[in-house]
């Protein structure tokens, strides 16, 4: 019986590790508006989103090798980079802007409850290294920890960005609002799926010209 339980546990753990996840979010800000779709499968991740300069872009990442390709579809351009190098540049840019992601205070419950889409949520406030914001947390979100673990894996490998799934809150964050120098940035969850994602989603298409990665402001 003990052996059977151990084997069952291993299968369940392996299934969680390999879990395919597709997450669609609505982004609203002064620089970017539209829906972003994230797909995660094993060590591969893909993000499709609107570009601040117009058109749509796709980012394909291999979290094991550190390779990342950004596809600018309107221009038919592909920009390849190493995520570790890009992460260092992003951290330098954040530091130059006075933002320190390492100084994260535990979110505090406000006692306010609101409906976000189909989810009943509780509102939390947080401070993130010089900027503040709010989280709308759904405590009864199905498979919340599995989804958060997949999102964490991607954000740990990817350069820059803010991942609300890393915040210490009891449930799934379905809406985030962050104050920035150019106005509020709001991200709202549209839907989540754990259906299988095809391997072809993580392969860059042919016919794109390669361009060099620009140096981010504040980086050496």
For residue 156, what is the domain's CATH number?
A: 2.50.20.10
Assigned domain for 207 exists: no
Assigned domain for 213 exists: no
Assigned domain for 220 exists: no
Assigned domain for 209 exists: no
- Summary count for the chain: helices (H), strands (E): 3, 12
Assigned domain for 215 exists: no
pLDDT at 104: 67
pLDDT at 164: 78
Cβ atoms of 95 and 111 closer than 8 Å: no
Which stretches of the chain score pLDDT less than 70?
A: 1-18, 93-104, 129-130, 159-162, 213-220
Domain region containing 15:
2-83+95-201
* CA separation for the pair 84, 41 (Å, rounded): 20
pLDDT at 67: 92
pLDDT at 213: 62
């Amino acid at each position: 019986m003990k052996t059977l339980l151990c084997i069952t546990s291993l299968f369940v753990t392996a299934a969680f590790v390999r879990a395919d996840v597709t997450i669609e979010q609505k982004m609203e800000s002064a620089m970017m508006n539209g829906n972003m779709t994230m797909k995660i499968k094993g060590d591969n991740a893909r993000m499709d989103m609107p570009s601040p300069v117009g058109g749509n872009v796709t980012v394909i990442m291999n979290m094991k090798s550190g390779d990342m390709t950004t596809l600018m579809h309107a221009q038919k351009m592909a920009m390849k980079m190493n995520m570790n190098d890009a992460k260092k540049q992003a951290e330098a840019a954040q530091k130059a802007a006075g933002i320190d992601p390492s100084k994260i205070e535990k979110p505090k419950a406000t006692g306010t409850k609101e409906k976000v889409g189909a989810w009943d949520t509780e509102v939390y406030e947080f401070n993130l290294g010089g900027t503040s914001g709010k989280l709308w947390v759904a405590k009864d979100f199905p498979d919340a920890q599995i989804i958060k673990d997949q999102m964490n894996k991607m954000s740990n490998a990817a350069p820059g960005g803010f991942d609300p799934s890393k915040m210490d809150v009891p449930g799934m964050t379905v809406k985030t609002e962050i104050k920035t120098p150019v106005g509020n940035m709001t991200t709202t969850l549209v839907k989540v799926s754990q259906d299988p994602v095809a391997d072809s989603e993580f392969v860059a298409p042919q016919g794109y010209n390669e361009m060099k990665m620009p140096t981010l402001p504040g980086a050496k």
